[in-house]
Chain A
């Protein structure tokens, strides 16, 4: 089966850097994604890694190590508006499950002033 592990909560102060880790076990692997969800809102796509290494998009970066089945989301220069839940997700191309994602349980990030 598929399983993803990420911390349930992380706290940090404004201006700081925070890293949210995700480890996964899947029978097939075609990419690790990250989603952000504010309270009462819909999840929105943040980033995607198919290959090992770091992908940077503004203040957010995402890293993947396929050999370690591990990735992380790095948030820099934290702002209050970054307080949200963050989900990692992996894609499995196994047979008819083409295109579906498996989501972690989410990490609640709280940013303090």
Chain B
């Protein structure tokens, strides 16, 4: 089974703190993604990476950065947490090989519910 794990299920931080969210996948997938999910807004892409040390901005990258030093690990960094970054953060991965379906099938982690006070 494909497994995507995230470092914390729940996290509470204070405004201005630097926050690290870690994601690890065990299926050797090339693509990894960070989303945030807010009620009524669906899944919004923050950043994604299609290879080690490569990153692409998604739709809402402001206030975030990412790091991908190893293929299996993709980290999301909030440089200075703010209350409007309180949200559910979801990590996902997908393979490059495997045919047309492979790009469309993303495997999600359980999510990290971050509260910034």
Contact = CB atoms under 8 A, between A and B. Distances in A.
Contact of A43 (B40, B43, B44, B96): B43
Interface string A33-53: 100000001111100101000
A98 B103 CA distance: 9
Contacts of B44: 103
Contact of A96 (B40, B56, B96): B56
Contacts of B58: 100
Contact of B105 (A8, A33, A96, A104): A33
Interface residues of A, dominant DSSP = loop
B108 A43 contact: yes
Of B48, B50, B104, which is in contact with the most chain A CB atoms at under 10 Å from its CB? B104
Contacts of B56: 96-97, 100
A74 to B, nearest CB: 18
Nearest to A2: B59
Contacts, number: 64
A31 B110 CA distance: 25
Number of chain A interface residues as a range: 20 to 34
A103 B43 contact: yes
A50 B44 CA distance: 23
A97 B40 CA distance: 25
Nearest to B92: A43
Looking at A30, A97, A99, the one whose CB has the most chain B CB atoms below 10 A away is A99
B31 interface: yes
A105 B42 CA distance: 4
Given A43-B43, A99-B96, A48 B101 contact: yes
B31 A99 contact: yes
A8 B40 CA distance: 8
A54 interface: no
A45 B97 CA distance: 17
B72 to A, nearest CB: 17
Interface string A3-33: 0000010000000000000000000001101
20 contacts: A8-B40, A31-B100, A31-B103, A33-B104, A33-B105, A42-B90, A42-B110, A43-B43, A45-B107, A48-B100, A48-B104, A50-B100, A96-B56, A98-B103, A99-B50, A99-B96, A100-B56, A101-B45, A106-B42, A106-B43
